[in-house]
Structure 1
Amino acid sequence: MRKLAGAVVLLLMSLVLLAGAPYGIADTDHEAITILFTHDLHDNLLPYTVEENGQTVEQGGYARLQTVINQERTEDPDLILVDAGDYSMGTLFQTIFSQDAPGLRLLGQMGYEATTLGNHEFDFRPEGLALSLMAVIESGERLPQIVAANLQFPTDEEGKIVGEDLQALQKAMHAYGVQDYIILDRKGYKIGVFGIIGNNAVSNA
């Protein structure tokens, strides 16, 4: 996935979902649901500077992101906070991805309910991703649910996963509790959240 100019992209959407109302008319008894959605955070934990109109401007960083999240929670404590992957790779923090996975751990600390695996989570190959998942499990911290609906492991004629690195990744994903999808209950609605990785993810990792 390409990095966006802001590196930290926050799309705020207030959705009024339709629930059993005839002819597509919204049920006015239900409240709007706020969804905060990020993607391609790429380990931009710290702010950075850019030149705008001849001036140096500081942007980004997880502290700013957390501030926005907290502000929105004051308006809607039941908001949904999710991420679409590529939370890692892009700054020097990637050098401790396998040992510490700071991006994933911070998503948990900021209250994210779910994320998925982007192509850059595989930059250190299956072994690196497996090590990062085991590292965050051992931290004992609150972690976001990982949803990954279309990851498939190649198997041999006996149905055994091919390669020790892929076997390690499958084991780590199982230990973490990676699921195809989760269902969230909000304001009388059941909302499904799932993650899908693109066809070109392997070649772009």
Structure 2
Amino acid sequence: MKNLRNNLIKGFIYISLIAFGYVLTRFIEVPYFEISKTIDISYILTLVVTAWLAILITTVFEKKNNDHRVEKDLIITRVGNIYDIAASLQLESNSGRIHISEASSSLKRINTALNSIYKIVDKCHFNINVDLKDRLRLILSDIRNTLTNTPSITDEQLNSKDLPIEIKDSIIHFNKERISQLEVKFDTLKDLLLELQIDINKK
């Protein structure tokens, strides 16, 4: 509304200047030039209509662009929230232990938030790269398996004190190798989330 008011004011100024210039020429004699002293109403109306159309078209496009920018900023912020959840979960896993309910709920929040973003984007004027969505789905599935699933192990490994993953009293414990694997996978997830933000911003 503010932009519309500003454009209307500018339009009024432009039209006033045109009218002032036309009136001024009626009282000024320019050597070697002959200026008509009659007013062509149709010509004046054409100028006025053209000026108003230019103002309205500019205002409409400006509003659409602003709305589009706001939509993208809101979605990018939502992706940033997912990034924060992933970073927090990564920090917990780096400690070598995490409560199983926290791991599951955080991953569920990430998946739910991403699906929500996909639905919102479908209602907007742009699409998310399908390949990027597939890579996000795969890395999240991989993280879930690495974070919560116990791999098949031999009897010899079973007697080892350095199991890749062990669950005691609802607490998941990781060895150093599993922590390193999770570190790499979470970094990949965060990179993909940043790529998602960039992809949305370019639309």
TM range, smaller chain: under 0.3
Tell me the TM-score normalized by structure 2: 0.21
Instruction: Name the one with the larger strand percent.
Output: 1
Instruction: Name the one with the larger helix percent.
Output: 2
Structure having the higher Rg: 2
Higher relative contact order (CA 8 A, sep 6+): 2
Tell me the TM-score normalized by structure 1: 0.21
